Amino acid sequence: MQLYILRKKNSIALISGILIATAFINKWTVGNIDIFTWLLVIASVIGAAPIAIQAYQALKVKVVSIDVLVTIAVAGAFVIQNFEESAIVTFLFLFGAYLEQRTLNKTRSAIKELTEMAPESALKQMEDGEFVEVEVEEVDVGDVLLVKTGAKIPVDGTVLSGEGSINEASITGESIPVKKEKGSFVYAGTILDNGTIQIVADRVGEDTTFGKIIELVEEAQDSKSEAERFIDRFSKYYTPAVLVLSFIIWLISKDIELAITILVLGCPGALVIGVPVSNVAGIGNGARHGVLLKGSEVISDFSRVDTMIFDKTGTLTLGNPSVAEKEYYGDNIKEVLGYLASIERESDHLLAKAILEEIGETKFSPVEDTKVVKGGGIVATLEGHRIAVGNVALMERENVKLSEKAKASIDRFEKKGNSLVLTSVDGELKVLMGVRDQVRPGIKEDLRRLKKLGVKNLIMLSGDNQGTVDLVGRELGLTEAYGNMLPEDKSAYVKKLIEKEGKIVAFIGDGVNDSPSLALANIGIAMGSGTDVAIETSDVVLMNSDFSKLPHALGLTKAIARNMKQNIVIAVGVVLILLAGVLFSEWVNMSIGMLVHEGSILVVILNGMRLLRYRLR
């Protein structure tokens, strides 16, 4: 019975409203006071039923909720036979709850839109070569799928054949179609605007980028910030305090109407709901614009960041370097390039890909006794030769003698902003390559926006040589730029800024070697196309590695923090004004108190909902 009444709460509010309206129409037209009174009594009783049930359920778990205060207030109004007040208060409370639920649902619209974008079926290639429609849960890694125009991409995968334009708004927040062809990577949940493609499934189900986005946003929206936890603790003691206060006022004044009016006015509804609605709306906005904020706690810290530290490759630069300059020394260079390619093809590093692309087709040799030298490069044995591939520090470690010509070339390459890759065979330098990356388009404007948003220090830490780092630092107008940094050097620098200099630090990176720094920083921000480790360790993810989303993310968290403060001021201010009104004037009664109380809840919800439309100017 209790469950049935609670399910019909909105219908009860409607019936209660009709009864109250009929009662007043009767009073103003027919003037029959008995009908007027009985209609209000019935409206009060049916309106109080769901409120009383919720109050009973709260008391069972030893919580003095708003429903308890309203139930006692309505019972008090009955005792003094003020049926007009009791009917209006119950109706306003139920109607307010209905409006709150409707408006709150809108703040969750972003996550609802995301879940509705989730693909449900896929055209899977069967053993006979035919494509059959199956549930997306039946797709495994390695399956070949057909995607037609207008269909959703069911999994993360690689295009095997065909080409087309894909709307990736569900991942990046940008609706401009992206051209895809053989070898291109596609995301689950995105839509093929035109063309037909076949893809091979690389990630399925919850492991897809889209699946992780939904999981992260749901977790974030359910998390609680420090402010929310404080308000929860506050309301736990505040609500019983209001009950005690109204009882003391009744004992002193013997005015039960004043006491029950205090109960209604003291309800902390707007205060309890004001902070969560700001967080939920803000996190939803971020999700729609390609920014994942992993929880409410992140918002507070991020909004106060004064120092941002960036990795270089893949963060400030495009992460798609190519060999810009090269020099060869000695004989048998073709054989040496084969050795170099054999070593580099076992690496996922961006520089390795650039070198393989430069060398092209060659003869590969078996690689033995591979040893990775942290911050230096790789040493391995190929066909009985000791091959070292890495930076100048590795060459010194391997006792490779550098000629004056080589030293001059190294100096020249560095000044032009190249990352150096040297190759030695049996202690003799054979190949010097300069690999250069391009800074991201529009990044200067993005960094300017960050400064305008209050970031005082923009710092770059890179494992690259100091010459390259200085060149990029000057070009982008960074505060500081440090090269030759090992992963432990980066994390030590982050730790020093936080612990010794009291900075609030955000670290932005995309690689495994960035994970310690991402974890140590007050806020770790990962580029979405970076490694899984970096994304898991971070607090914020910029989907599709779109650096231009960073100013939006920072501006959004500042707007959320402001919005929360506004909602707290509105909630506390309304309660204080109403209490002052009931104690020092005649205009505030129980009905007006409930009307203003419900109005204040709607105001804070609507104020929070403004964040759904937030865009950085």
pLDDT 10s digits, 141-158: 999 999 988 888 888 899
Q: What is the pTM of this model?
A: 0.65
- Quick one: CATH architecture of 322-436? 3-Layer(aba) Sandwich (3.40)
Model confidence at 55: pLDDT above 90 = no
593: phi then psi, degrees, rounded to nearest 5: -60, -45
Distances (CA, A) of 257 to 80, 199, 245, 439, 567: 8, 72, 14, 71, 29
- Please give the pLDDT value at position 533: 53
What is the rounded distance in angstroms from the CA atom of residue 235 to the CA atom of residue 241? 9
What is the pLDDT at residue 113?
A: 57
> In the predicted model, what is the mean pLDDT of residues 229-252?
75
Whether 13 contacts 93, CB under 8 Å: no
Contact predicate 196/162, CB 8 Å: yes
Residue 390 has pLDDT above 70, yes or no: yes
Given a cut of 60, is residue 222 above it in pLDDT? no
Per-residue pLDDT at 104 exceeds 70: no
Strand duo 291-293 + 385-390: pairing: unpaired
Q: Are 386 and 426 in contact (CB under 8 A)?
A: yes
The answer to whether residue 605 scores a pLDDT higher than 80 is: yes
Nearest to 275 by CA among 346, 225, 317, 205: 225
Question: Residue 171: its pLDDT value, please?
Answer: 62
User: Which residues in the chain are classed under CATH 3.40.50.1000?
Assistant: 291-318+439-545
The two three-digit tokens of residue 396, written as one number: 């010194």
Lowest mean pLDDT across 41-45, 80-84, 373-377, 465-469? 80-84
Tell me the pLDDT tens digit for each residue of 264-313: 776 666 777 777 778 878 888 887 788 888 777 788 889 999 999 998 87
CATH-assigned architecture of domain 120-154+156-203: Distorted Sandwich (2.70)
- 553: pLDDT strictly greater than 70: yes
The pLDDT value recorded for residue 31 is 80
Residue ranges, CATH 2.70.150.10, the chain: 120-154+156-203
CA distances to 121, 130, 185, 212, 496 from 145, in Å: 11, 10, 14, 21, 50
Helices 590-609 and 66-79 pack at an angle, to 10 degrees, of 160
DSSP 8-state secondary structure symbol assigned to residue 152? B
Distances (CA, A) of 261 to 70, 123, 251, 304, 582: 10, 64, 14, 41, 8
pLDDT value at position 584? 76
Residues carrying an active site annotation: 311
Contact (Cβ atoms closer than 8 angstroms) between residue 508 and residue 311? yes
Q: Which pLDDT band holds residue 87 (cuts at 50, 70, 90)?
A: confident
Name the nearest CA neighbour of 469 among 391, 378, 356, 551. 391
CB 74 within 8 A of CB 87: no
Q: Is the pLDDT of residue 16 over 90?
A: no
The radius of gyration of the chain's CA atoms, rounded to the nearest angstrom, is 33
368 phi/psi in degrees, rounded to 5? -125, 160
The side-by-side arrangement of strands in the sheet containing 385-390 is 322-328, 428-436, 419-425, 385-390, 377-382, 368-373
Band of pLDDT at residue 100, cut at 50, 70 and 90: low
- CATH number for 291-318+439-545: choose from 3.40.50.720, 1.10.3720.10, 3.30.300.30, 3.40.50.1000: 3.40.50.1000
Is 478's pLDDT higher than 90?
A: yes
Starting at the edge strand that comes first in sequence, how are the strands of the sheet with 523-527 ordered? Answer: 291-293, 540-542, 523-527, 505-509, 307-310, 457-461, 480-482
Give the residue-averaged pLDDT of 485-509. 89
At residue 521, what are phi and psi to the nearest 5 degrees?
A: -65, 155
Q: Between vectors from CA 472 to CA 313 and to CA 184, what angle results, nearest 5°?
A: 35
Cα–Cα distance measured from residue 487 to residue 493, given in angstroms and rounded to the nearest whole number: 10
Would you place residue 388 in the very low, low, confident or very high pLDDT band (cuts 50, 70, 90)?
Answer: very high
State how far the alpha carbon of 575 is from the alpha carbons of 102, 103, 268, 600, in Å.
24, 22, 8, 9
* Count of beta carbons in the 10 Å neighbourhood of residue 480: 13
How large is the average pLDDT for residues 113-125?
75
Residue 605: phi and psi, rounded to 5, are: -65, -45
430 pLDDT exceeds 90?
A: yes
* Alpha-carbon dihedral 604, 607, 612, 615, rounded to 10 degrees: -150
| 19 DSSP 8-state letter | H
39 Cβ partners below 8 Å, 6+ apart?
Answer: 19, 20, 22, 23, 26
The Cα–Cα gap between 547 and 525 comes to 11
Considering the chain, tell me which residue range(s) the CATH 3.40.1110.10 domain(s) occupy: 322-436
Query: In terms of Cα–Cα distance, which of 217, 226, 169, 213 is closest to 193?
Result: 169
Q: What angle do CA 408, 414, 420 make, to 5 degrees?
A: 95
Which one-letter amino acid corresponds to residue 550? Answer: L
pLDDT at 73: 73
Separation of alpha carbons 218 and 283, rounded Å = 9
Q: Is the pLDDT of residue 416 over 90?
A: no
